[in-house]
Structure 1
Amino acid sequence: MAAIIGNPLRTVRIGFMPLTDCASLVMAAECGFDRQYGIRIVPSRETSWANVRDKLGSGALDAAHVLYGLMVGVQLGIGCQRQDMAVLMNLSRNGQAVTVSRALAQQGALDGPGLARQMREAPRSYTFAHTFPTGNHAMLLYYWLAAQGIDPLRQARALTVPPAQMVGSLKAGMIDGFCAGEPWGQRAIDEGVGVTAATSQQIWPDHPGKVLGTTAAFAASEADTCRAMIAAVLDASRWIEASTANREQSATVLAGSAYLNTGRQAIAARLLGRYDNGAGRQWTDAQALCFHADGEVNFPYLSDSMWFMTQQRRWGLLRDDPDYLGQAQAVNRIDLYKGAAGMTGTQLPASVMRSSTLIDGMRWDGSDPRGYAASFPIHQR
């Protein structure tokens, strides 16, 4: 589907939030991978996930780097007008973090057990922020707190804050901690106001991150354009992971004013898997932010979509169990992904489901979503 010389490129406006995991989308445009498939990606920096949702719905954006849980929430009509959506591919895995205030960490809340102990011994009103009510960070934050025996909705207050405002909110004492994508966890450490209590890969190893999302209507009317977008981002994802130099170059581009507009080192450290929790522990994370892994990252697994539905049900965002499998089959456009995978020589997995064991020892494989959603001792239904 390479562009024919002389033919105009199809312009696609793709929204993104200023987060490190938008890298494959940005580099697809910056390195010209898009033009190889007859399109021109115009990245559009957005200010909140609600703006991304609304602009996708109105058609102001053709597609977006977007929270997986947000896409599922719109598909199910949680807190908004229901609209059929399309997840074209996964953009990333891992690489988010739960950050607690330095003051809380100094009182012993350096990790989950420490936080649970602190909340028992010094009861008060604790506030933790996420980035969107149905999104990845809310669901991962709630899951992590519940795994420590903390009811996230009864023993704490949950607050929605745009990613770029997390560090300022922590510094101002408005919140005790937050779950968000990078570089904001690292920025909290660099500014001396936060400590990493858990990485998201500790909560759910190899969890899905952001997706390339659009509306079902756009996917139906612009199938060739969707395949071209997926193919361009697959090539960019492969390129990022081809060398350390490419990751370093990506960090430099992302730091620019058009994208994250922040210090390059705050981006580069965790993009390269180099972690410092801000309290004296340093390590190289084998499960850091990942963009491709021979296509293993990018396939839109049905079980990933279903997991977010189970957690939305668990926390009362859904009053009843949805048709988990049917909704996942509707929103995850495996057909379009397979077409782009063929264009780029990207491997496909043996199954549309995958299994994982999360921080609390619970295994998820998509086989019994209704039973899984009802099995947690801490829930709000």
Structure 2
Amino acid sequence: MAEINVKQLRTVRIGFMPLTDCASLVMAAECGFDRQYGIRIVLSRETSWANVRDKLGSGALDAAHVLYGLMYGVQLGIGCQQQAMAVLMNLSRNGQAVTLSRALAEQGAVDGPSLARHMRNAPRGYAFAHTFPTGNHAMLLYYWLAAHGIDPLRHARALTVPPAQMVGSLRAGMIDGFCAGEPWGQRAIDDGVGVTAVTSQQIWPDHPGKVLGTTAAFAGSDPGTCRAMIAAVLDASRWIEASKANKEQTATVLAGSAYLNTGREAIARRLVGQYDNGVGGQWTDEKALRFHGDGEVNFPYLSDGMWFMTQQRRWGLLRDEPDYLGQAQAVNRIDLYRGAAEMTGTSVPSSPMRSSTLIDGLEWDGSDPRGYAQSFRIHLG
């Protein structure tokens, strides 16, 4: 590769939250994949998803590692000023978890069925935390609770807590459980304050995780930079999954003070799919956190974006039915992704829709979003 003139690189400011699934952005910058496409990624560690949202909206960030559901919440003006957004690619799949307190586990509540029995037999004010009202963790937490007959908004309080504060909140008894990304589920186990009740891949196998997001205005004004960002991250994602050694190196980098600033082992174990639920269960997860999968992970499927809208409608966050397909076509910039995929030799799926069967046995394929949103026994919308 020819020597690159650093002064000619286009600086791109990208925000991230200290979570394991920011790995492909971190390694794109650390390993120099960005410079191969004429950009220099400057990463900014953020303290909350609300902060990420506000900085994207104001232009303080060009792009961000961001919750899929948050992007659609802003696109639809849920709890904030409406702003047109752009999902450039999916950064990850799987690798989140619902954690219950050690106190609940000691009383026999270690999974969905036992939690439901416990809450019926010992009624009190239960509190479960997610990371953002319209985000992935809120929607996955609500879905899991409801699948076991627990109304997340009537039988409990739902609280918003930044990911890095989840373990401390659990230790202090402020919450009974939480849904968040790694390494915080593993940290709760390591610190002796929580147990893993369910992984997110058990709720929705191969579910979408965080995305590389920006505003529609930025995507419209600088599509070349957007394609360069996607291409750099595709290369980094491929590199992470190329070997166990690369995953181990990624864990070491992520553990540093500039990124997650936490114990390396808490990151490494679940990054390579080694799970311990804190109550005797240990397994190697075939659907652990993924970053590339020959591009299957990264493609911005329209049906994925539509699912979040169905759940936002289900829980009353959307008062009216949105144009599910139209909104997904506007937000998920498949055109930009295809350009970057061609640049990197990444395979592109034949269809922008995909099918999944979730924990309650219901199939989601995007064909009837309105009917799907209205089909649930437990709902508010």
TM-score range for the pair, normalised by the shorter chain length = over 0.9
SS of the residue 1:306 aligns to: helix
Deviations 1:89-140 (A, max 9, x none): 0000000000000010111111100100100111111000000000000000
Counterpart-to-counterpart distance in 2, 1:260 and 1:297: 23
Structure 2 counterpart of 1:197, which letter? A
SS in 1 for 2:98: strand
Aligned twin of 2:69: 69
Q: Distance in 1 between matches of 2:186 and 2:81?
A: 35
Give deviations 1:268-298, integer Å, cap 9, x for gaps. 0000100000111100000000000000000
- Structure 2 equivalent of residue 135 of structure 1: 135
Partner of 2:220: 220
Distance in 2, Cα, partners of 1:92 & 1:74? 21
Q: How far apart are the structure 1 equivalents of 2:320 and 2:203?
A: 26
SS at match of 2:342: helix
1:127-166 matched pairs, under 5 angstroms: 127-166=127-166
User: Which residue is 2:90 aligned to?
Assistant: 90
Counterpart of 2:187? 187
Aligned positions, number:
381
Indicate the SS of the match to 1:118: helix
Any residues of structure 2 matched to 1:15-164 within 5 Å, and which? Answer: 15-164=15-164
Q: Which residue of 1 aligns with 2:254?
A: 254
SS of alignment partner, residue 13 of structure 2: strand
Q: State the partner residue of 1:175.
A: 175
1:33-63: per-residue Cα shift (whole Å, max 9, x none)? Answer: 0000000000100000000000000000000
Contact 1:3/1:38, CA 8 A, preserved across alignment: no
Q: After TM superposition, list the pairs within 5 Å mapping 1:172-321 onto structure 2.
A: 172-321=172-321
* CA distance in 2 between partners of 1:101 and 1:334 (Å): 41
Partner secondary structure for residue 8 of structure 2: coil
Structure 2 matches for 1:357-368, cutoff 5 A? 357-368=357-368
In structure 2, distance between residues paired with 1:116 and 1:269: 29
RMSD: 1.1
Q: Is the Cα contact below 8 Å between 1:3 and 1:9 reproduced in 2?
A: no
2:268 counterpart SS class: helix
The answer to whether the aligner puts 1:356 opposite 2:361 as a matched pair is no
Is the CA contact 2:9–2:35 (under 8 Å) kept in the aligned structure 1? yes
Provide the rounded CA distance (Å) in 1 between the counterparts of 2:145 and 2:110.
13
Cα separation, 1, equivalents of 2:147 and 2:181: 20
- Which residue of 1 is the match for residue 371 of structure 2? 371
Partners in 1 of 2:19 and 2:61 — Cα distance? Answer: 18
The percent of aligned pairs where both chains have the same amino acid is 86
| Structure 1 counterpart of 2:343 | 343
CA–CA distance in structure 2, aligned partners of residues 6 and 350 of structure 1: 38
Q: CA deviation at 1:5?
A: 4.6
- Measure, in 2, the Cα distance between the counterparts of 1:127 and 1:64: 29
Amino acid at match of 1:360: D
SS in 2 for 1:197: strand
SS of alignment partner, residue 104 of structure 2: helix
Distance in 1, matches of 2:105 and 2:350, equals 43
Structure 1 stretches of at least 4 aligned residues deviating more than 3 Å after TM superposition: 1-7
Offset, 1:4: 5.9
* Structure 2: stretches of 5+ with no match in the other structure: none
Whole-Å separation in 1 of the counterparts to 2:201 and 2:106? 24
Question: How far apart are residue 158 of structure 1 and its match?
Answer: 0.2
CA contact 2:86–2:214 (8 Å) conserved in 1:
yes
Q: Which amino acid in the other structure matches residue 64 of structure 1? A: A
